Amino acid sequence: MDSDRDFTPEQLARGRALRRAQVPWVLGGRAAGLALSLLLGLTPAGAHLVGGAGRLFGGSWAAEVLAGATALVLLGQLLGLPFAARVRSVRSGYGLVTQGWGGWAVDLLRGLALTLALALPAALGLYALTGWSADRWWLPAAGAAALLTVALSFLFPLVVEPLFNRFSPMPDGELRSALVALAERDGVPIRDVLVADASRRTTALNAYVSGLGATRRVVAYDTLISTAEPREVELVVAHELGHVKHRDVAVGTVLGALGAAVAVGLLGLLMSLRPLLDAAGVPDAADPRSLPLLAACAAGLGALAGPVQSAASRRIEARADRHALELTGDPEQFIAMQRRLALTNIADVDPPRVLELLFASHPSTARRIAAARTWAAARP
């Protein structure tokens, strides 16, 4: 791949420099979180923490579950804070951040409230099930996890996205008409393209599809609409229409639901292993003080599943790119759009392969451009 053809050496160096400045903190934050989970789950420290937190609130079963889960979530957030702050200031140094520290802190608190709103009822439900049967709790829990995954995917645009952004229908005009015509030509029924007020946080460009059925929506950042050429916006939306056409959100949700059910089954197995329970200093999975062990096992499974999820995501993204090329028949504008995204977002257009393989949700810019040239060359 010859990125030199599409980018100047300065542009390539700038993306590489930002990647080198922020990746250690992004990955460091993740590694620290995983290490904390393992430390609390695989030693008696976590059980002591949950027991102590429970005693502060009367020491009942529910107090242990609720106070213990809250303590675990808060500790994880506190540990992640310096890493997240460092990533923010690195990105700020590159002009990618438009939000002050106050707004950043409010976002963090909103995220924390959302996490607790999900985690506390889930923990209560889970320990109600382990109390019912310390051996077979995972069976109904697996079903519940699958249902919850589908419900969250459906509710995400209604409940989660409005916490962080405002959305408005794209104003009437040439661009909106062009996008609606594009969707019609594609045979994809979309009610509208929504514009998110992303500029309150960032200068970066993005668009995405979320929701299921009645909540499905195509969203473009306002930064994209105000920065990119209309034809480039069309290419971005053509890519998003590829996601709609192939039902990527619905299929991803079903796979996610299956994955969640399998993960809970594996958790059921792990939480029955005597060496793990002994390491955590708890008699069985019915004891709420086993919560840190459960969290550690879940964090470990999550870390193992990450690369598989990113590989699946990269395939889906490459397919949406092909859809954009087929729908528009315009590889030149596709490449212009990729250049625009990479330059505005200060992307490393050709990152180290190992980072791409383990963590990237999208193929690199260099790969996406090369794929477009290959597609164009194969056309008569």
Contact residues toward Zn ion (CB under 5 A) are 317, 320
Compute the least distance from the CB of residue 302 to Zn ion, in Å. 22
Report the interhelical angle of 45-56 vs 291-328 (nearest 10°).
100
Cβ–Cβ < 8 Å for 103, 201:
yes
- Distance, in Å, from the CA atom of 98 to the CA atom of 369, rounded to the nearest integer, reads 29
Residue with tokens 């699958």: 146
SS (H, E, C) the chain: CCHHHCCCHHHHHHHHHHHHHHHHHHHHHHHHHHHHHHHHHCCCHHHHHHHHHHHHCCCCHHHHHHHHHHHHHHHHHHHHHHHHHHHHHHHHHCCCECCCHHHHHHHHHHHHHHHHHHHHHHHHHHHHHHHHCCCCCHHHHHHHHHHHHHHHHHHHHHHHHHHHCCEEECCCCHHHHHHHHHHHHHCCCCCCEEEECHHHCECCCCEEEECCHHHCEEEEEHHHHHHCCHHHHHHHHHHHHHHHHCCHHHHHHHHHHHHHHHHHHHHHHHCCCHHHHHHHCCCCCCCHHHHHHHHHHHHHHHHHHHHHHHHHHHHHHHHHHHHHHHHHCCHHHHHHHHHHHHHHHCCCCCCCHHHHHHHCCCCCHHHHHHHHHHHHHCCC
Angle subtended at Cα 242 by Cα 161 and Cα 380, rounded to the nearest 5 degrees = 155
Cβ proximity to Zn ion: between 270 and 320 the closer is 320
Q: Using the minimum distance from each CB to Zn ion, give the nearer residue, 87 or 207.
A: 207
Q: How far is the CB of 251 from Zn ion (least distance, A)?
A: 14
CB of 354 to Zn ion, least distance (A): 23
Question: Smallest distance from the beta carbon of 208 to Zn ion, in angstroms?
Answer: 7
Name the residue nearer to Zn ion (CB basis): 110 or 315: 315
Q: Please, which residue, 161 or 317, has the CB nearer to Zn ion?
A: 317
Kindly state the smallest distance separating residue 137's Cβ from Zn ion, in Å: 37
Catalytic residues: 240
Helices 248-270, 230-245: axis angle to 10 degrees equals 60
The CB-of-4 to Zn ion minimum distance in angstroms stands at 26
> What is the smallest separation between the CB atom of 228 and Zn ion, expressed in angstroms?
16
**Tokens representing residue 154 in the block:** 């459906």
